[in-house]
């Protein structure tokens, strides 16, 4: 494992409804969905960028905590 990986940045997502989806997209030549995590209302997930994930997509009503502040998905 790359030594720096444990120090990668993380984001946090708080689900505001059931079924919020957090989708990890693959790093590398191809950008594909490689993991989907479902959150129920009120659950919090904290996730780092990794060797395998360089992009994250959030669907459903949620608060996304980033270095730019809190971004509320709006549906």
**Closer by beta carbon to a copy of itself, 19 or else 34:** 34
Least distance (Å) from a copy of itself to the CB of residue 28?
7
Residues found near a copy of itself in the complex (CB under 8 A): 1-12, 14, 24-25, 27-31, 34-35, 37, 39-52, 54-59, 61-71, 73-75
Least distance (Å) from a copy of itself to the CB of residue 19?
14
Report the C-alpha dihedral over residues 54, 9, 65, 73, rounded to 10 degrees. Answer: 0
Instruction: Enumerate long-range contacts of 29-35, CB under 8 Å, 24 or more apart.
Output: 31/55
């Amino acid at each position: 494992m790359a030594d720096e990986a444990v120090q990668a940045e993380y984001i946090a997502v708080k689900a505001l409804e059931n079924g919020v989806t957090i989708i990890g997209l693959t790093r590398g030549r191809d950008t594909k969905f490689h993991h989907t995590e479902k959150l129920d209302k009120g659950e919090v997930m904290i996730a780092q960028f990794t060797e395998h994930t360089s992009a994250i997509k959030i669907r459903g009503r949620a608060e996304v905590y980033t270095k730019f502040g809190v971004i509320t998905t709006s549906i």
